[in-house]
A and B are shown apart, each in its own frame.
Chain A
Amino acid sequence: GNSVTQMEGPVTLSEEAFLTINCTYTATGYPSLFWYVQYPGEGLQLLLKATKADDKGSNKGFEATYRKETTSFHLEKGSVQVSDSAVYFCALNSGYSTLTFGKGTMLLVSP
């Protein structure tokens, strides 16, 4: 079956530091990959997505590249801000209308 594994959090960084949140997956077929973000007290918001191998999704300075050979979709940002503090979820959809999520990684950015 499908599964998503994310690095354990919390990830604690200072403002302007480089961010990487690792995500690997197991899936049948050719899944699409997503990163969702949950800010405190809010719902899940789509951050970025990639729908085929070697695609790069990007939004708000965040990037992730769909690597089929390593079954990975790591989230990166060159310079984090305090406002990026949130929980980040990696997810996949292999075409059966259901999203499979990782456990989420909390990011805490201090000034």
Chain B
Amino acid sequence: EPEVTQTPSHQVTQMGQEVILRCVPISNHLYFYWYRQILGQKVEFLVSFYNNEISEKSEIFDDQFSVERPDGSNFTLKIRSTKLEDSAMYFCASSEAGARATDTQYFGPGTRLTVL
């Protein structure tokens, strides 16, 4: 069964450094998402991406964050200058379609980001 993959599984970085989290969505899916979960808190939406542009973003997704689909298979989340509070589990997801409430999003296993 096709699945969303993410690399690395765990990333440790120093405060102020740039990190890039990578995701390979399911191949025929058109919508891509990033979510994060700070330890002990809810899973929170960051951004959705369709047709090579951001379709929605949350208040969390400020100028420090960016997303890109650099080729036909990868989807990346970049954090330009990491802060301690960016430490979280980051989940990538994809869906076949995306603008409807009924569409199912399929999640990857997550990347645990630790900012020291």
Contacts and interface: CB of A to CB of B under 8 A. Distances in A.
A44 B98 contact: no
A98 B56 contact: yes
Interface string A8-50: 0000000000000000000001111010100001111110010
A88 interface: no
The 8 closest A-B pairs by CB, nearest first: A43-B109, A44-B107, A95-B101, A101-B43, A32-B101, A98-B45, A51-B102, A93-B101
Contacts of B55: 97
B101 A94 contact: yes
Interface of A: 29-32, 34, 36, 41-46, 49, 51, 89, 91, 93-104
Contacts of B4: 43
Contact of A46 (B31, B33, B102, B106): B106
Of the listed residues A89, A98, A104, the one surrounded by the most CB atoms of chain B closer than 10 A to its CB is A98
Contacts of A41: 109
Contacts of B35: 99, 101
A30 B98 CA distance: 16
Given A93-B103, A97-B56, A103-B42, 10 more contacts: A31-B101, A42-B109, A46-B105, A95-B100, A96-B56, A97-B48, A99-B35, A101-B35, A101-B42, A104-B42
Interface of B: 4, 6, 31, 33, 35, 41-45, 48, 50, 55-56, 58, 91, 93, 98-110
A29 B102 CA distance: 13
Contacts of B48: 97-98
Contacts of B102: 32, 49, 51, 93
Contacts of A101: 35, 42-44
A44 B43 contact: yes
Contacts of A36: 107
B108 A103 contact: no
